[in-house]
């Protein structure tokens, strides 16, 4: 199976069942344990989050004009890519055991990508078996050549002498070869986001909108999309016992509806509890993977409040472990679109209703905060603009994805678009407090049952958003964030400061566009 890569001597394990991967992890890997609930606990080593500054895309004539080059999509030469690939292969050739997993990305058959992952750690193989779609025996027998290959040699350092490589870590993608090379990072999330990046390149070419979002479906068939960066609540808020989960992170919207790219969920589990997030808590059982979570050395009970390893503790599990999941993970077109923002300044209201023009503006802007732990070096929430609520994974210009969203909003004019702040209120980070998850859930419940759209709204100054005067089970005084600050003059200054950040950011993306008129206005 791996002879074409010069891997002859290693024992190759193909699509092993989780039970055998458990055995291998316990036998061959340090810091691997079985938790009291039956999940496998593993360590990703030094890197406990993604390394976006080390991500590279090969600059090739076929895709060069498609890629939005810059701080996110940094170019790499074909020569440097081949050197990195050779480093990865030399590492893999030396291993006694190699794990190969053939999987699918995308539940829609016409858009499905055949992915082969080659790695040396059973922990990574288990992650892949959870996060992607596992072929049936018949599908595996007919799998053939993959469309995309991941060479995960994360335990081997990159060579900083290679042109374009600037650290011991290198995550490089070749869009023409459909190959991803991972060096210098054993963080499993690099694999799933690598394939997401590939889908963000392939799908728009088919006029399909790829989105960094979660999706769920009501009992009456109504569909909600929740877009947001890691840490804004996509996974938590989509796991609703009263709604069917389509997926928690990566989706595509085509002419027939919406489909999940993945076969599993990758939930943050800092301060996880059965009371606050019962669906996720109960999903952590045999077959699930806990990443960088501290365990009690005697009882093997996870301590989700101990963030001494990282604040980016994670749980990976098959989507079927969520009782309300809908499998196959496909659904119809959206009724509600929710933009999730984690506002570290405490300026934005808990919920706002957007016009279609504002929907485009806030989608392109992608305002949120980078939450500690999700990326290397981020220690506390930092205000940022991440276009389409997923800039680190987008290949084209944000305008490309915005145009595809605009087509959907025009085709389905009854869609309601909302901006929900899951960040701070009563002040910024360090002064205010995080908006209550209970209140956010109540707001989303009101969106789903249709009551919120029928409430009375008032104008939110500067940003000119519509905010409700009341929401069932939510204190009315918190709906206008200005009321929650002790010093309202300081709030006004902070609001103007954020508004200017929006205006300056949009100038970089599309200065002079009519969409800019939907943004904030400073007198």
The residue out of 187, 206, 225 marking a domain boundary is: 206
Asked about 94 being catalytic, the answer comes back as: no
| Residue 316 maps to a domain | yes
> Does 377 belong to an annotated binding site?
no
Model confidence pLDDT, tens digit, residues 241-283: 999 999 999 999 999 999 999 999 999 999 999 999 999 999 9
The catalytic residue among 314, 326, 370, 495 is 314
Q: Which two three-digit tokens encode residue 341?
A: 């923002």
Exposed, middle or buried: residue 421 (CB in 10 Å: 0-12, 13-18, 19+)? buried
Q: Is the model's pLDDT at 372 over the cut of 70?
A: no
> Does 185 belong to an annotated binding site?
no
> Does 166 belong to an annotated binding site?
no
Asked about 324 being catalytic, the answer comes back as: no
Instruction: Name the residue among 389, 393, 347, 315 with its Cα closest to residue 501.
Output: 347
**CATH number for position 275:** 2.170.8.10
316 plus 349 within the same structural domain: no
Q: Is the model's pLDDT at 371 over the cut of 60?
A: no
The catalytic residue among 60, 116, 121, 212 is 212
Asked about 234 being catalytic, the answer comes back as: yes
291 plus 420 within the same structural domain: no
Domain that holds residue 441: 335-518
Give the CA dihedral 53, 58, 59, 64, nearest 10 degrees: -90
Helix axes 488-510, 356-365, angle to 10 degrees: 80
Asked about 448 being catalytic, the answer comes back as: no
The residue out of 160, 189, 206 marking a domain boundary is: 206
80 plus 189 within the same structural domain: yes
> Does 417 belong to an annotated binding site?
no
DSSP-based three-state secondary structure for 76: strand
Cα separation of 233 and 368, whole Å?
12
> Does 123 belong to an annotated binding site?
no
183 plus 291 within the same structural domain: no
The catalytic residue among 35, 197, 230, 386 is 230
Using CA atoms, how far residue 263 sits from 133, 152, 251, 317, 419, in Å, is 5, 20, 11, 9, 27
The catalytic residue among 59, 124, 178, 234 is 234
Model confidence pLDDT, tens digit, residues 179-220: 999 999 999 999 999 999 999 999 999 999 999 999 999 999
353 plus 274 within the same structural domain: no
The catalytic residue among 193, 244, 251, 439 is 193
Q: Is the model's pLDDT at 373 over the cut of 60?
A: no
The residue out of 206, 234, 250 marking a domain boundary is: 206
Identify the pLDDT of residue 430. 84
Provide the number of structural domains found in the chain: 3
Cα separation of 224 and 247, whole Å?
11
| Residue 401 maps to a domain | yes
Asked about 249 being catalytic, the answer comes back as: yes
> Does 236 belong to an annotated binding site?
yes
The catalytic residue among 240, 249, 270, 445 is 249
Beta-bridge partners for 179 = 149, 174
Identify the pLDDT of residue 509. 80
CA angle 427-432-438, nearest 5°? Answer: 120
Q: What is the mean pLDDT of the chain?
A: 95
| Residue 50 maps to a domain | no
The catalytic residue among 41, 43, 47, 50 is 50
> Does 432 belong to an annotated binding site?
no
DSSP β-ladder status, 113-119 and 97-105: antiparallel
77 plus 120 within the same structural domain: yes
| Residue 359 maps to a domain | yes
Cα separation of 278 and 335, whole Å?
26
Q: In what order do the strands lie in the sheet with 179-183?
A: 11-14, 97-105, 113-119, 148-153, 179-183, 170-174, 55-58, 74-76
| Residue 260 maps to a domain | no
301 plus 345 within the same structural domain: no
Model confidence pLDDT, tens digit, residues 379-410: 666 778 999 999 999 999 999 999 999 999 99
Cα separation of 150 and 191, whole Å?
7
| Residue 181 maps to a domain | yes
> Does 386 belong to an annotated binding site?
no
**CATH number for position 497:** 3.90.228.20
Identify the pLDDT of residue 514. 83
DSSP β-ladder status, 250-254 and 244-247: unpaired
> Rounded to two decimals, what is the model's pTM?
0.95
485 plus 340 within the same structural domain: yes
DSSP-based three-state secondary structure for 91: helix
402 plus 272 within the same structural domain: no
Identify the pLDDT of residue 230. 81
| Residue 472 maps to a domain | yes
Query: DSSP letters of 298-361?
Result: TT--B-TT--SS-S--EEEEEGGGSTTB-SS-EE---SEEEEEE--TTS-S-SEEEE-HHHHHH
> Does 410 belong to an annotated binding site?
no
> Does 91 belong to an annotated binding site?
no
> Does 19 belong to an annotated binding site?
no
> Does 249 belong to an annotated binding site?
yes
270 plus 406 within the same structural domain: no
443 plus 508 within the same structural domain: yes
| Residue 259 maps to a domain | no
Q: Is the model's pLDDT at 516 over the cut of 80?
A: yes
185 plus 311 within the same structural domain: no
Asked about 193 being catalytic, the answer comes back as: yes
**CATH number for position 101:** 3.40.449.10
């Amino acid at each position: 199976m791996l002879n074409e890569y010069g891997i002859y001597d290693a024992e190759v394990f193909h699509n092993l069942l989780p039970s055998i991967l458990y055995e291998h992890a316990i036998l061959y890997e340090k810091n691997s344990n079985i938790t009291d609930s039956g999940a496998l606990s593993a360590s990703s080593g030094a890197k406990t989050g993604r390394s976006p500054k080390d991500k590279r895309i090969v600059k090739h004539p076929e895709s060069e004009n498609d890629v939005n080059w810059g701080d996110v999509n940094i170019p790499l030469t074909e020569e440097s890519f081949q050197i990195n690939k050779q480093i990865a292969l030399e590492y893999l050739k030396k291993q006694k055991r190699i794990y190969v997993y053939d999987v699918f990305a995308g539940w829609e058959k016409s858009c499905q990508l055949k992915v082969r992952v080659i790695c040396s750690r059973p922990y990574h193989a288990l992650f892949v078996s959870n996060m992607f779609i596992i072929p049936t025996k018949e599908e595996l027998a007919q799998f053939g050549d993959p469309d995309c290959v991941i060479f995960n040699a994360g335990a081997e350092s990159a060579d900083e002498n290679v042109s374009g490589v600037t650290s011991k870590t290198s995550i490089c993608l070749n869009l023409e070869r459909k190959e991803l090379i991972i060096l210098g990072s054993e963080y499993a999330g690099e694999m799933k986001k690598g394939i997401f990046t590939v889908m963000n390149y392939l799908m728009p070419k088919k006029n399909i909108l790829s989105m960094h979002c979660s999706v769920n479906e009501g009992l009456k068939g109504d569909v909600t999309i929740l877009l947001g960066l890691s840490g804004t609540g996509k996974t938590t808020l989509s796991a609703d016992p009263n709604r069917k989960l389509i997926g928690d992170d990566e989706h595509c919207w085509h002419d027939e509806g919406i489909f999940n790219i993945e076969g599993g969920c990758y939930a943050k589990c800092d301060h996880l509890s059965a009371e606050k997030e019962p669906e996720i808590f109960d999903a952590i059982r045999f077959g699930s993977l806990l990443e960088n979570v501290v365990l009690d050395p005697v009882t093997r009970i996870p301590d989700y409040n101990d963030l001494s390893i990282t604040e980016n503790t994670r749980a990976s599990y098959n989507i079927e472990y969520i009782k309300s999941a809908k499998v196959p993970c496909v659904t119809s077109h959206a009724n509600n679109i929710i933009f999730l923002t984690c506002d570290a300044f405490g300026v934005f209201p808990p919920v706002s209703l957007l016009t279609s023009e504002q929907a485009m503006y806030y989608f392109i802007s992608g305002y949120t905060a980078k939450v500690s732990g999700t990326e290397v070096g981020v220690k506390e929430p930092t205000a940022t603009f991440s276009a389409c609520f997923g800039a680190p994974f987008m290949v084209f210009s944000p305008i490309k994805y915005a145009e595809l969203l605009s087509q959907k909003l025009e085709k389905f004019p009854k869609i309601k678009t909302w901006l929900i702040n899951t960040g701070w209120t009563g002040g910024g980070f360090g002064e205010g407090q995080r908006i209550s998850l209970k209140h956010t859930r109540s707001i989303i419940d009101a969106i789903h049952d249709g009551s919120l759209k029928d409430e009375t709204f008032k104008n939110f100054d500067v940003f000119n958003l519509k905010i409700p005067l009341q929401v069932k089970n939510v204190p009315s005084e918190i709906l206008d964030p200005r009321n929650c600050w002790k010093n309202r003059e300081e709030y006004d200054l902070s609001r103007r400061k954020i508004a200017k950040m929006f205006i300056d950011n949009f100038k970089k993306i599309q200065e002079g566009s009519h969409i800019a008129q939907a943004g904030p206005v400073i007198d």
